Amino acid sequence: MLGNLSTRTRLMLLLVLAAIPALALTVYTSVTQRVAAASQAREDITSLARIGAQQQSQIVDGAKQLLIGFSLVPADMRNDRERCSEYVRQVLQKTAGLYSSMGLYGPDGDVKCAGSFLDRGAQRATESGQFAIGEYPRPPPSKPDGFTLNYPIVDAQRNMVDVAFVVLNLTEFGELAAKLPLPDATVLTVVDRNGIVLARTPGGNGFVGRKVEPAQVLENMLTGASGVFSGGSADGAQLYAWQSVNEMNGATAVRVLVGVPLSAVYAGANETLIKTLAGVLVVTLLLLVGAWYGVERFFLRNVRTLLSAANRIRAGDLGARTGMNYGNEELSRIGKAFDEMAETLHERQKRIDSAITTLQQQAITDALTGVNNRRYLYETLPREIVRAKRAGTTIGVVVIDLDHFKRINDSYGHEAGDMVLRWVGNVLLKSTRGSDIVCRYGGEEFCVVLPEVSSASVQAKADEIRRALMELNLDYCGKPLKITASFGAAIYPEHGEDADTLLRLADEALYRAKGAGRNRVEVYSREPAVQEVRLAATATERVAATSASPPSTASVSKIKTASFARAPQQPPLPVVQSDGAPDRAAALQVLTGPIVGKEFPLANVATSIGKAGDEIAMITRSAHGYFLTHVEGPRFPVVNGSTIESRARRLADHDVIEVAKVKIVFFYK
């Protein structure tokens, strides 16, 4: 019979048959969703009941604390009805209406001090000698406004003398319960030990004083401290959860009941079922229309692959790829373009991450010395002060200024000054602990933060660094350099309790060290003479700077000219000849990098000084002088800031060469 049908009809029948498992799966999924929805609803209302019980427990605890405070009132005041009533009145004013009444009654039940006692039958506190929660009044008054909580007051011999009570205002009690966020159609009820409603939300005061209905609900609530069950009500089948609020002696006095209609529980699953069934029918119709085009085989499979890869990339997995076989049809080309785009994004993200890491490091690091910069100091010093304040420890702040540093720059050039600053940074890093903070504070100023040290330790550490700087044997182009430094220190919290104050006081101590002759350590002192010393030091420094005599005019002029002026432009030279007497001896000195200050003599005819990729920089010695030669390249090496573009260039005394980002100075011995 099927053989008489057309291919299209047979395919349509196959699609209809294929839709039957989809319908079965939809029904199965709906049942599963209903089970999951019921399970989730049980968890949700159990959590709501627990939260409601915690709220009621807090209210009961608050009332208990209030009564405990009342019990601590002296006996003469409690026995004085007028004074006791005034005390109760003042307390009730402060509770914002949460309690409608408060007072004392004796063991016989007679009210002794203020208040309106609703629960005269609540003798649990009297009988047990412990805090007790009352119940809704029976028979209820014409306008019940609360239920009573009782706390026994005993004398020194543990004999009960009075019972303090407070009446919880049910109106305020209900408003507190109404503040709990409840899902739609969910009802929260608070009941006493007899199943009488104390508060209900939503529903208001109309249910207060009535017994919980139906009776099955109350019977289930009395079976334990908490639980979940299903039951019927006037509003249809409900899902209930209850949680008990216990007194100190373990008796259940208040319970919280949460109910939600089962129709609301299954509403989402029912809606999903309807939508899913409609979707299956629509998809079936679409498949019937598009069956001839092999949608599933040639389109949907690749689309799902693309969507999966897109979702992974959207989730942050930039390594996701489609894995499709690239061909000439449209989806294959889209897949190829997608993979190429993902690869580009991946590489770009790696570059961005690397750049961010580099920028973060550069933002807090001084590029010349390699130590932290002033910004890092201003960010970390306040945090260290907070940490020290919390731990009860101290912090030492030391400001360091190199003595007569300007003379080095004026006499030998800024390259020599930079070399000195790098050496100072190395000394500071080697002389401090890993927990200490070393920063370049200004031009020739540094700052060291020493956590958890005493004043004597700060001075000793500063003096240790001072001696280490004095012992440096620096050499710039064959000329020895000696440096000293002045130190000013301030201690937290002895001298100041914030970063600005500590830095300012350490700076004042630094000027005091300068005024006292430099090359010394001074710890801040509150003596009035400090300000005068600072002013005198400033004036002395200006006079010394103007009257200081540089080494020799000729040598200074030669060094500065060689350090900052470009070498004269010369035409390309032929291959260097080595005939004749060799030029006088020269050397190289490293200005940057891990071996700063290291000197290398140029003794051979040709010396290789660096390599980057296929490019080699070489210094050749001949009777005509020293020449820098290299394989052609636009960036390697650089002399005095200019890229070499000729095959050979003659070096002048004190030319600064940059090879692979390392600076080297050439000089004659």
Q: What is the pLDDT of residues 299-313, one digit of tens each?
A: 667 777 888 888 888
Write the single-letter amino acid at 577: Q
304 vs 281: CA distance, rounded Å? 21
Q: What contacts 101, CB < 8 A, 6 or more positions away?
A: 92, 114, 115, 116, 117, 118, 146, 166, 167
Mean pLDDT throughout 172-178?
71
H or E stretch including 352? helix 330-364
Mean pLDDT throughout 620-644?
68
What is the model's pLDDT at position 638? 73
- Nearest-10 Cα torsion for 20, 26, 32, 34: -130
463 vs 461: CA distance, rounded Å? 5
The share of the chain scoring above pLDDT 90, in percent, equals: 18
Please give the C-alpha separations between residue 651 and each of 48, 590, 628, 644, in angstroms, as whole numbers.
85, 16, 7, 12
Kindly indicate the confidence band of residue 529, based on its pLDDT and cuts at 50, 70 and 90: very low
Q: Where are the beta strands (DSSP E) in 403-471?
A: 437-440, 445-451
Q: Express each pLDDT in 500-527 by its tens digit.
A: 999 999 999 999 999 889 999 999 987 6
359 vs 381: CA distance, rounded Å? 21
**SS3 letters for 271-339?**
HHHHHHHHHHHHHHHHHHHHHHHCHHHHHHHHHHHHHHHHHHHHCCCCCCCCCCCCCCCHHHHHHHHHH
When mean pLDDT is compared over 163-172, 231-240, 555-564, 608-617, the highest value belongs to 163-172
Report the predicted TM-score, pTM, of the whole model to 2 decimal places: 0.41
| Residue 132: both structure tokens together | 């007790």
**Residue of 263 and 547 predicted with greater confidence:** 263
Strand, coil or helix: 578: coil
Write the single-letter amino acid at 438: V
636 vs 642: CA distance, rounded Å? 10
The conformation of residue 186, written as its DSSP 8-state character, comes to -
**Residue of 323 and 415 predicted with greater confidence:** 415
Q: Express each pLDDT in 414-451 by its tens digit.
A: 888 999 999 999 999 999 998 999 999 888 999 999 99
130 vs 150: CA distance, rounded Å? 8
What is the model's pLDDT at position 596? 79
Q: What contacts 127, CB < 8 A, 6 or more positions away?
A: none
On the question of pLDDT at 79 being above 60, the answer is yes
| CB contact at 8 A, 498 and 397 | no
Long-range interactions of 542-549: CB distance < 8 A, separation 24+ = 544/404, 545/406, 548/404, 548/407
Q: Express each pLDDT in 219-236 by its tens digit.
A: 777 777 788 887 776 667
Burial of 212 (0-12, 13-18, 19+ CB in 10 A): buried
What is the model's pLDDT at position 440? 93
Residue 582 Ramachandran class (φ > 0 left, ψ -120 to 50 alpha, else beta)? beta
The conformation of residue 184, written as its DSSP 8-state character, comes to T
On the question of pLDDT at 200 being above 60, the answer is yes
Mean pLDDT throughout 70-98?
81
What is the model's pLDDT at position 231? 76
Q: 621: how many CB neighbours lie within 10 A of its CB?
A: 21
On the question of pLDDT at 142 being above 60, the answer is no
Least confident stretch, 98-102, 135-139, 222-226, 260-264: 135-139
Mean pLDDT throughout 10-39?
75
Least confident stretch, 70-84, 412-426, 590-604, 637-651: 637-651
- Nearest-10 Cα torsion for 616, 617, 619, 625: 120
Least confident stretch, 43-52, 119-128, 451-460, 534-543: 534-543
**Residue of 412 and 33 predicted with greater confidence:** 412
What is the model's pLDDT at position 35? 82
On the question of pLDDT at 119 being above 60, the answer is no
| CB contact at 8 A, 597 and 588 | no
Q: Give the β-pairing of 615-622 and 625-630.
A: antiparallel
What is the model's pLDDT at position 636? 56
Q: Express each pLDDT in 567-584 by its tens digit.
A: 344 444 444 444 445 567
| CB contact at 8 A, 92 and 116 | no
What is the model's pLDDT at position 390? 94
DSSP secondary structure string for all residues of 367-399: TTTSSB-HHHHHHHHHHHHHHHHHHT--EEEEE
On the question of pLDDT at 640 being above 50, the answer is yes
Mean pLDDT throughout 462-487?
91
Strand, coil or helix: 163: strand
Least confident stretch, 167-181, 355-369, 383-397: 167-181
SS3 content of the chain, % helix, strand, coil (to 5): 45, 25, 30
- Which residues, listed in sequence order, are joined to residue 245 by a DSSP beta bridge? 254
On the question of pLDDT at 391 being above 90, the answer is yes
Kindly indicate the confidence band of residue 643, based on its pLDDT and cuts at 50, 70 and 90: low
| CB contact at 8 A, 97 and 159 | no
| Residue 353: both structure tokens together | 């991450």
84 vs 71: CA distance, rounded Å? 11
Please give the C-alpha separations between residue 157 and each of 71, 151, 153, 210, 237, in angstroms, as whole numbers.
15, 17, 11, 43, 56
Kindly indicate the confidence band of residue 533, based on its pLDDT and cuts at 50, 70 and 90: very low
H or E stretch including 523? strand 521-523
On the question of pLDDT at 180 being above 70, the answer is yes
Average pLDDT along the chain:
76
What is the model's pLDDT at position 613? 63
When mean pLDDT is compared over 361-370, 539-548, 556-565, 617-626, the highest value belongs to 361-370
Kindly indicate the confidence band of residue 139, based on its pLDDT and cuts at 50, 70 and 90: low
Q: 52: how many CB neighbours lie within 10 A of its CB?
A: 26
| Residue 594: both structure tokens together | 């891990």
What is the model's pLDDT at position 444? 92
What is the model's pLDDT at position 644? 61
DSSP secondary structure string for all residues of 587-607: EEEE-SSTTTT-EEEE-SSEE
